[in-house]
């Protein structure tokens, strides 16, 4: 007899959705960082932004205690989610040079909810991505969750060029022949020496 999996929160009793919680508790965790977190009182994030964030002068990271999207602080205005870092950067440095400019974090902790005004500046997407690489927050290579190869595997694949045909190399490492060709041409893993 199969046992039904239920939410791990005591006295909940709803079917499990993800991470051991029902869909409600999972959603609360995603929005508030706590499966038992509740709705924020109306106006509380705006008040916090106005009174705490914009007057914060320390160089330490100030972490947003409210809703986040992929770790980045967000605030809802007119039923639209807006990045708090963008609002803070605009307050600190004025409007962005172009609508495509992004608020970039010098601390590398924007994905953890940092909204310290001294850590923000306007940057192009390319500059922001370069910052991610510098801070080690952009998953690439073996740090990427879907990577099948390690850096040593890639180096070995490069060494085997000419010694084996691509089909055999692909079979050896459990990847496609196309991927082997991309590694040989440095279309993939090009940053790896």
Domain ranges of the chain: 1-38, 44-135, 141-184
Q: Is the pLDDT of residue 95 over 90?
A: yes
Tens digit of each residue's pLDDT (9 = 90 or more) over 57-88? 999 999 998 888 888 899 988 889 999 999 99
pLDDT on residue 71? 84
Say which range, 74-83, 128-137, 161-170, has the weakest mean pLDDT. 128-137
Q: Which residue has the higher pLDDT, 53 or 138?
A: 53
Tell me what percent of the residues of the chain surpass a pLDDT of 90. Answer: 50
Mean pLDDT, all residues of the chain: 87
pLDDT on residue 32? 67
Strands 72-77 and 80-83: antiparallel
DSSP annotation of 40 reads P
pLDDT on residue 18? 87
Tens digit of each residue's pLDDT (9 = 90 or more) over 36-45? 776 667 788 8
Q: Is the pLDDT of residue 171 over 90?
A: yes
pTM above 0.95, yes or no: no
pLDDT on residue 151? 87
Say which range, 3-12, 136-145, 153-162, has the weakest mean pLDDT. 136-145
Q: Which value, to the nearest 10 degrees, does the dihedral of the CA atoms of residues 20, 22, 24, 29 take?
A: 0
| Cα distances (angstroms) measured from residue 82 to each of 19, 85, 117 | 27, 9, 16
8 A C-beta contact, residue 110 and residue 135: no
Q: How far is C-alpha 150 from the geometric centre of its chain's CA atoms?
A: 21
Q: Is the pLDDT of residue 135 over 70?
A: yes
């Amino acid at each position: 007899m199969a046992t039904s999996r239920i939410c791990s929160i005591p006295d909940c009793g709803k079917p499990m959705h993800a991470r051991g919680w029902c869909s409600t508790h999972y959603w609360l965790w995603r929005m508030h960082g706590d499966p038992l977190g509740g709705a924020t009182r109306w106006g509380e994030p705006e008040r916090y932004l106005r009174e705490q964030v914009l007057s914060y002068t320390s160089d330490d990271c100030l972490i947003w205690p409210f809703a986040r999207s992929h770790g980045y602080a967000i605030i809802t205005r007119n039923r639209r989610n807006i990045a708090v870092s963008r609002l803070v950067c605009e307050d600190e440095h004025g409007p962005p040079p172009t609508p495509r400019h992004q608020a970039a974090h010098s601390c590398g902790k924007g994905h953890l909810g940092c909204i310290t005004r001294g850590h923000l500046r306007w940057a192009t997407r390319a500059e922001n991505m370069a910052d991610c690489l510098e801070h080690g927050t952009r998953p690439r290579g073996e740090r990427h969750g879907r990577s099948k190869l390690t850096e040593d595997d890639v180096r070995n694949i490069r060494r085997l060029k000419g010694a084996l045909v691509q089909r055999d190399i692909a079979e050896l490492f459990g990847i496609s022949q196309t991927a082997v060709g991309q590694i040989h041409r440095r279309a993939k893993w090009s940053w790896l020496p």
